[in-house]
Structure 1
Amino acid sequence: MSNQRLKSLIQTFAYDEKEKPSTSNSTISHPRISKPKPKPKPKPTTNSTTGSSNIKLPNLNPSLSSNLHIIFVGFNPGIQSSIQQHHYAHHSNLFWKLFNQSQLLQKICDTHQIPTSSDDKYLHTLLQKGSSHLDDWGLIKYGIGFTDLVLRCTKRAEELSMVEKLENVPRLLQEFKSSKVENVVIVGKGIWEMIVKYIAQEIKVKLKLNKVNFIWGKVEVGNDEIYNSAIEWLNEKLERRTIVWVFPSTSGLVGSMSYANKLQLWNNLVDHIS
């Protein structure tokens, strides 16, 4: 092989400097791969009424009969009352403490000559140890009933719309009438405000509760003629003349009046029963 041909063959396999990778500081460009973002987990639907996810708690039905000595009216059942299906069931509610301390049940038994001997073991136990939310349905036997302005459960009464509250007033008034109740105890001023507002619409007057026409306790006519006309309208709608009482809410969330003052209102009610 000639030297010229050998040289040509060597050049064929020679290392080409142009093909050498760059060793400069420049960065090799790579295509940017976006990391897929995780899809947010769907939030569970929260029921504004109960505060619990995807849970709709049942209404709490009234515990009534056709001949009652007294009806207690709440705003609407709270979560615990709905879950347990008993009135004033939350442990912080003062209702049953006031009920027992005022000795209301004993006074009703005495007034209406309900035997309190040990023959009625249930009643005997209630008088000795006191009543609780578990006894609301059992107390019907002794002429004590329970209902609410609105039967739907919410965490707070503020969650109820004005329309819903007013729409329930006729049902409430019908319960008073059909039970022939002697005393209606409204447990919360806001309930009475809704009843008065409904009546004002019915008799086409402007009326609001104020310092002149409203007092805690027994509802009576006074110096406000428009308010008096609302009370007269209510009395005409009832089966018999029913005495209405307005007490502060017993909810643990409401503390606008001292316990001693609340108890005094209950004692006034007990003293009146005869």
Structure 2
Amino acid sequence: MLTDIIRKDLEVLFCGINPGLKSALDGHHFSGRNNRFWKVLHQAGFTPYEIDPVNDATILDSGYGLTTAVARATTRADELSKDEFENSMEAFKSKMIYFRPKYIAFLGKAAYLAFSGKKQISWGYQAEDFCGAKVWVLPNPSGLNRGFTLSDLISCYKELFQQLKL
């Protein structure tokens, strides 16, 4: 199981769909060899250097945190059932209300689609708040997500980073 890296009143809480098997085994977020999260986060401006997954807790120093929508680790996020999202929703909402992040950045559309009840969403900023937080939907940085190049990911994440500076 992967532990949240979270505290109250974070600027952004990055929410992965669920842990990958390697991350769950290592106990560190985004530790898969091909996961691009840490590289993208740094190159988009969120962190002053590329954080090594074993130092994932240092993300708190920048005002950001990490959680997942569903706790069960899988090889691929599409292995999760609709029921698993539904069964995770109340605990996730309680966590958001308690920790009060300014933004929740869902990494991939799956969790936000399930939690919002919407049939379709676009990338980027969402018009409705979620448990009092502004919502941004970013492409999943998994190495399995080949629909987005590294450059595409950096561009999408940079949009959120620039929004924070306004």
TM-score by length of 2: 0.91
The answer for the alignment partner of 1:155 in structure 2 is 75
More strand by percentage: 2
The answer for the alignment partner of 1:139 in structure 2 is 59
Q: Secondary structure at the match of 2:104?
A: strand
Please give the residue correspondences for 1:55-74 in structure 2 after superposition, counting only pairs within 5 Å: 59-74=1-16
Please give the residue correspondences for 1:39-188 in structure 2 after superposition, counting only pairs within 5 Å: 59-105=1-47, 127=48, 129-188=49-108
- Alpha-carbon offset, residue 253 of structure 1: 0.8
Q: Give the number of equivalent residue pairs.
A: 165
Verify the 8 A CA contact 2:6 2:66 in the aligned structure 1. Answer: yes
The answer for the alignment partner of 1:208 in structure 2 is 119
The answer for the alignment partner of 2:142 in structure 1 is 251
Q: Secondary structure at the match of 2:153?
A: helix
Q: Secondary structure at the match of 1:244?
A: strand
* TM-superposition CA deviations, 1:173-204 (whole Å, max 9, x none): 2222211111111001111111122xxxxxxx
Which fold has the larger relative contact order, with Cα–Cα distance below 8 Å and residues 6 or more apart in sequence?
Answer: 2
- Alpha-carbon offset, residue 66 of structure 1: 1.6
Q: Secondary structure at the match of 1:246?
A: strand
Residue identity opposite 1:267 in structure 2? K
- Alpha-carbon offset, residue 160 of structure 1: 1.8
CA distance in 2, matches of 1:141, 1:100: 13
- Alpha-carbon offset, residue 89 of structure 1: 0.6
- Alpha-carbon offset, residue 100 of structure 1: 0.8
CA distance in 1, matches of 2:155, 2:80: 30
- Alpha-carbon offset, residue 261 of structure 1: 2.2
CA distance in 2, matches of 1:64, 1:181: 9
Q: Which moved more, 1:135-144 or 1:63-72?
A: 135-144
5+ residue gaps in structure 1? 1-58, 106-126, 198-206, 221-230
Overall identity of the aligned pairs, in %: 25
CA distance in 1, matches of 2:42, 2:62: 15
Structure number with greater Rg is: 1
CA distance in 2, matches of 1:164, 1:191: 10
Is 1:261 aligned to residue 152 of structure 2?
yes
Q: Secondary structure at the match of 1:137?
A: helix
The answer for the alignment partner of 1:201 in structure 2 is none
